[in-house]
Amino acid sequence: MLNIEEFISGVVCRATEELWGTSDNIQIQKTRKEFEGDYTVVVFPLLRASKKSPEATATELGEKIVASTPEIKSFNVIKGFLNLVVDSSFWAQRFGEIVSTENFGMAPASGRTIMIEYSSPNTNKPLHLGHIRNNLLGYSVATILKANGHNVIKVNLVNDRGIHICKSMLAWQLYGNGETPASSGMKGDHLVGKYYVEFDKHYKAEIKELVAQGMSEDEAKKKAPIMLAAQEMLRKWEAKDEAVYSLWQTMNGWVYEGFDVTYKALGVDFDKVYYESETYLLGKSLVEDGLQKGVFFRKEDNSVWIDLEADGLDQKLLLRGDGTSVYMTQDLGTALSRFDENSLDDMIYVVGNEQNYHFQVLKLVLKKLGYEWSDNIFHLSYGMVELPEGKMKSREGTVVDADDLIADMVGTAREMSDELGKLDGCTEEEANAICEMVGLGALKYFILKVDPKKTMLFDPRESIDFNGNTGPFIQYTHARIRSIMRKAEEAGIATDNFLQAPLLQEEVELIKLLSEYPAVVRTAGEQFAPSVIAAYAYDLAKQFNGYYHDHSILKEENEAVRSLRLKLAAEVARVIRSAMSLLGINVPERM
């Protein structure tokens, strides 16, 4: 189905070519609401070719288009702008095409393979609110890219090694008394996170004691016994010490079981999981390769660095003096293995904006090592999520736990739905399913409607408001339409003759909005922006509600008009369902 903007562009280009021998500098935009028209041609860039005033140029072009294009009913000129009015018969035909297009909005196969990495948790703590934004953003972008015809590989890189993992392990050894998820009744990720906090508590106490003995705070941080023990544990892990390795496998196993429960509740998944413990060695070999090529250099303490000062950056550590790797080491190895194994066209990392510099360096180092595909790495950077109470800190145990937040969202959805009578007539099983759908829909929509680059404030209760720009408002609109359709089916009302009714202007506006959906999906894919889809879904739901408020559907006596309105409502519901699915949000059949 031809994109409407492409159709209008083609019409204007042909007319300018015939009039003035050029089709360059054509600028078309949607007509502003305060003016009559559907699409506006900006005339100023055409004045050199027409050699006339803006008004005369616009008038001549408008007359040419109306005379040669039956789909354009009329035009008007406002200063240097030509407003074109599309005939309602065109919109009726367009609506028929939308109805008959099975996968409306979805693009054909592009032949491109794109890998997208999201989640990337550490195995020393449970997922929290920041992880929720990461997972929801990554999963939605992956779904949108699939809708754009790309072959998408969703991957998770688990940070399962390093000093932070050893901190939890050491604290469990020292203070855990053999506690397990089974003995404690805690999810495994929560139990391990408990000991990460425990480490920090004892570490701070040791620093305080050393400072009291006359040591500087910086020195105390380096020489605190518990930190030295954690560093020794990391060295033993890299040396495959049997006892340390066994404990590491056991505690990570607890965490993975806990993560899986949270991922399932969030409705996100992965095609492949990478583990840093399996990629850091390849990274080390790349560092050796870079040393031989002279790209890297070794300092006196045996650590390996790259000098990026000529590129406007600084010197970057790639390998510690004791031979242990850093994040950059393993990211180099992971990137190489991914491009080699999957013949990727693009690689997208969904990681918070505090890592902007890291990914700038990663691309630059890979480029200097001779990997041209480094240009196809993209860091989808996003801002932090804050609560009305302020920022979160995991090691101090002040994070908002993902599992608790999900449960609270579902509970709040139940409370507010009961207050508004949204669950009247539902069985307990139906009510539970709806509240889970609404609670998670509210959470996902509230987070995804915000531009990823922005830091956002998350207010759980505001997100579940059934009015305004929220997930529940859009979900309720879908449920309302489905209720109308069920009643129509029960009454045996047919919709076969929907194309026989004349279109009201409000119906034209709805069809115009529906027809924009493929372009919206394309834009969201190009910009990696679920917020574009969210804004569209809200506009569509809001516009339909206004239409439904002013025009009866089931009580309309004219059969053809009733048929049209039912079919229009059904298509609005279908596109809402499709758009929300791109955000990872389910919509209820009843509410």
List per-residue pLDDT tens for the chain, 591 residues long. 667 888 899 999 999 999 999 888 899 999 998 999 999 999 999 999 999 999 999 999 999 999 999 999 999 999 889 999 999 999 999 999 999 999 999 999 999 999 999 999 999 999 988 899 999 999 999 999 999 999 999 999 999 988 999 999 999 999 999 999 999 999 999 999 999 999 999 999 999 999 999 999 999 999 999 999 999 999 999 899 999 999 999 999 999 999 999 999 999 999 999 998 888 788 889 999 999 999 999 999 999 999 999 999 999 999 989 887 888 988 998 999 899 899 999 999 999 999 999 999 999 999 999 999 999 999 999 998 877 765 444 444 456 789 988 998 999 889 888 888 888 888 888 889 999 999 999 999 999 999 998 988 888 778 888 888 999 999 999 999 999 999 999 999 988 888 888 999 999 999 999 999 999 999 999 999 999 999 999 999 999 999 999 999 999 999 999 999 999 999 999 999 999 999 999 999 988
Residue 71, domain member (yes or no): yes
Stated pTM of the model: 0.90
Integer Cα distance of 305 and 303 in angstroms: 7
Residue 314 and residue 361 in one domain:
yes
Residue 166, domain member (yes or no): yes
Residue 431, domain member (yes or no): yes
The CATH number for 19's domain is: 3.30.1360.70
Residue 553, domain member (yes or no): yes
Residue 382 and residue 415 in one domain:
no
Indicate the residue among 36, 70, 86 that finishes a domain.
86
As for how many domains the chain has, the answer is 3
Integer Cα distance of 203 and 207 in angstroms: 6
Residue 198, domain member (yes or no): yes
The 10 Å Cβ neighbour count of residue 522 is 18
Residue 260 and residue 157 in one domain:
yes
Residue 240, domain member (yes or no): yes
Residue 60 and residue 196 in one domain:
no
Residue 570 and residue 426 in one domain:
yes
The CATH number for 279's domain is: 3.40.50.620
pLDDT of residue 398: 52
Residue 444 and residue 489 in one domain:
yes
Residue 209 and residue 150 in one domain:
yes
Residue 130 and residue 278 in one domain:
yes
Residue 67 and residue 140 in one domain:
no
Residue 43, domain member (yes or no): yes
Domain that holds residue 77: 4-86
What are the structure tokens assigned to 293, written together? Answer: 């090529």
The CATH number for 451's domain is: 1.10.730.10
Radius of gyration of the chain (CA): 29
Integer Cα distance of 366 and 337 in angstroms: 13
Indicate the residue among 86, 109, 126 that finishes a domain.
86
The 3-class secondary structure across 329-354, one letter per residue, is HHHHHHHHHHHHHHCCCEEEEEEEHH
- Alpha carbon 555 to chain centroid, angstroms: 41
Residue 41, domain member (yes or no): yes
Residue 362, helix vs strand vs coil: helix
Residue 142 and residue 211 in one domain:
yes
Q: Give the burial class of 67: count Cβ atoms within 10 A of its Cβ; 0-12 exposed, 13-18 middle, 19 or more buried.
A: exposed
Indicate the residue among 345, 369, 386 that finishes a domain.
386
Integer Cα distance of 431 and 424 in angstroms: 9
Residue 66 and residue 123 in one domain:
no
Residue 181 and residue 316 in one domain:
yes
| Helix and strand element counts for the chain (H, E) | 22, 14
**Contact call for residues 564 and 510 (beta carbons, < 8 A):** no
